[in-house]
Each structure stands twice: as C-alpha cells, then as structure tokens.
Amino acid sequence: MSAAILTKACELGLIFAILSLGEYISFRVMDTPDLTVDGSYATGGCVCAMCTLAGHPLLGILAGFIAGCLCGCVTAFLQTKMRIQPLLAGILTMNALYSINIRIMNGAPNVSLFSSSLKPTWTLLSDANTQLYVLAAIVLVIGLLMFWFFKTNLGLMLRAAGNNEEMIKASSINVDVMKFLGLGLSNGIVAVSGALLVQYQNFADVTSGTGMLVLGLAGIIVGETIFRRHTVGAGILASVFGAVIYRLLYTFALKLGFAATDMNMVSAVLVAVTISIPYLQSLRRKKHHA
C-alpha cells in the first residue's frame, strides 16, 4: 500500500478512535450496551454540517457534541424514568433520531459542504497537509480530558456506578444521575466523531451512523488484545490504538479484493474472533495442563 493510502487510513482511524472513546464510556465504564450510538453519530454530523454551511465550522463541532449529549440523555430518561430496558431504550432513540436528523438538514437525506463554485466550505480539516496532525491533537486532548475526568470524584462515582450499582445505591449516590452523565458524555463524544467525519469528507448523510456501534466496539476489543491491563489509562489507549489498527486492517482487506459492501461482515467476524481469543486461550491452557 502507498504512503498516501496509509495516511488516509490513519486519519480515518483517528476519527473512529473518538467514536471508540465514546463507546468505551458506555460499554466498559458503565457496562451498558447502548444502541443510541448509530443515531447520535449521524446527529453530530448533521448538526455540524448545518452549522458549517452557516459559516461556523468550529461551533458546529461543539453543537454536535451538545446534540449528542442530548441524545444520550433521552436514552437515559427512557431507562431511568420510563423503566424501559437499556437495549430497547437505545433502539427507540436511534429510530427517532433518523427522522430528527432529516429535520435538522431541512428535509434532505444528505448535504454537501461544497458551495456552488465547487469549493468546500472552510473547516477544521480543510488542509489535507495538516489533517493527520489536527486529528491526532484532537484525539490527544479528548483522551487526556477523559483520563483526568475519571480520576475526579465525579468520574470515580461514574465508574463505581458501572461496577456495582447496588453498592452505589447504598452509598446514597443517585444512580439515575450517573446514567444521565455517562450516556450523555458517551454519545456527546460519539457525535464529535460524526462531526469530524463530515468535515473530513465534506458531506453529511442521515445513514452515516449505520454500523458505527460495531465499528467502535471493534476498535475497543482489538485494542484490548494489546493493552491487557484493566485500568482507565489502558482502556483509553486501547480504544485509540485499536481503532487505528482496525482501520488499517479494514484498508488491507479492501486491498485484498473485498468489496466495500462486504466490510460489515468482515467487521462482525473480526469482533467475534477477537472477543473469543481469551476463551480460546483458556481452553488451550487447560488442554496443556491436562
């Protein structure tokens, strides 16, 4: 593969690393399978696209984050106040967001950031020569902020709520508030990934979130096979490097002749195999000692 292809793969890997960081909060910290991701990812992109076309690309990323937080809070509301099961709550929010995203883009299923002169509107990622460095800086900042947050009292309470909900209730900590906080932050960070992808590709589409749940989990799981320590720092590093490695594997699979339409299947197989590795290793050790 050429250097240009590898660079593009790393750039997309960094964008999806932010997706994995967001999912790390819900999947690992809160131990909650959140299907809102497929909807909030697209919402972040749609909101960012409209703000960018209005001449506010930086504000678009912030607005995308806030919109994603609201999506997560809706799911948390359904779980805590309506007593709907987490999986179903995520599905309901995700389905509703499809219609909302079309409304955000004024009834259009997709929007281009190109003007009538075929020149893209200026964005944070307009310069192809600096895209890799800008994305690396953004991932670094988000990763450091997450690491710092999970060391604070509030972050420790969020982690404790995910580890042992009953113990937290006994400690007089409001579990419902922790769910709002966790799902809000998770989907907010996911939406930032969607916003950056829009500015990277110069268009937004309401279906851009399809398959993002599996893609984000793939990054986390691939990374965890490398960083085996179960600490917050290791989890954050695993999410970042796993997403980049996964994207490189994705690019390599395309070079082998797989069609783009095959990649969802490839992703599912890769995640299933990676999840099974610890179990297969334990079986091998048992046979070795038998």
Secondary structure (DSSP) of 131-167 = HHHHHHHHHHHHHHHHHHHTTSHHHHHHHHHHH-HHH
The total number of structural domains that make up the chain: 1
- 111 in any annotated domain: yes
- 189 in any annotated domain: yes
Task: Please report the pLDDT score of residue 41 as a whole number.
Answer: 98
Q: For residues 76 and 26, give the distance between their C-alpha atoms in angstroms, rounded to a whole number.
A: 11
Task: Please report the pLDDT score of residue 236 as a whole number.
Answer: 96
Mean pLDDT (the chain, rounded)? 90
| Least confident span in 106-115, 228-237, 264-273 | 264-273
| Least confident span in 10-24, 90-104, 219-233 | 219-233
Task: Please report the pLDDT score of residue 24 as a whole number.
Answer: 96
Task: Please report the pLDDT score of residue 61 as a whole number.
Answer: 96
Find out whether 227 and 241 touch, Cβ atoms under 8 Å.
Answer: yes
| Least confident span in 56-65, 112-121, 232-241 | 112-121
Look at residue 193 and give its three-state secondary structure: helix
* pLDDT of 149 above 70: yes
- 160 in any annotated domain: yes
- 271 in any annotated domain: no
Q: How far is CA 93 from the centre of its chain?
A: 16
Residue found under tokens 């999506």: 71
* pLDDT of 290 above 70: no
Determine phi and psi for 114, rounding to 5 degrees: -80, 140
- 274 in any annotated domain: no
- 222 in any annotated domain: no
Q: For residues 283 and 148, give the distance between their C-alpha atoms in angstroms, rounded to a whole number.
A: 38
- 20 in any annotated domain: yes
Q: What is the mean pLDDT of residues 153-166?
A: 88
Which neighbouring-strand residues pair with 110?
Answer: 205
Where does the pLDDT of residue 116 fall: very low under 50, low under 70, confident under 90, or very high at 90 and above?
very low
Q: For residues 150 and 169, give the distance between their C-alpha atoms in angstroms, rounded to a whole number.
A: 19
Determine phi and psi for 106, rounding to 5 degrees: 55, 40
Which of 275, 255, 104 has its CA nearest to residue 194? 104
Could you give the percent of the chain with pLDDT greater than 90?
64
* pLDDT, tens digit, 9 for 90 and up, residues 219-257: 998 898 888 777 899 999 999 999 999 999 888 888 888
Q: For residues 132 and 263, give the distance between their C-alpha atoms in angstroms, rounded to a whole number.
A: 24
Which of 35, 24, 17 has its CA nearest to residue 230? 24
Higher pLDDT, 66 or 112: 66
* pLDDT of 10 above 70: yes
Where does the pLDDT of residue 119 fall: very low under 50, low under 70, confident under 90, or very high at 90 and above?
low
Q: For residues 14 and 184, give the distance between their C-alpha atoms in angstroms, rounded to a whole number.
A: 21
* pLDDT of 117 above 70: no
Look at residue 52 and give its three-state secondary structure: helix
* pLDDT of 115 above 70: no
Pairing of strands 203-205, 110-112: antiparallel
User: At residue 142, what is the residue type?
Assistant: I
- 266 in any annotated domain: no
Find out whether 78 and 92 touch, Cβ atoms under 8 Å.
Answer: yes
| Least confident span in 38-42, 167-171, 248-252 | 167-171
**Full residue range of the structural domain in which residue 200 is found:** 3-210
Q: What is the mean pLDDT of residues 133-142?
A: 97
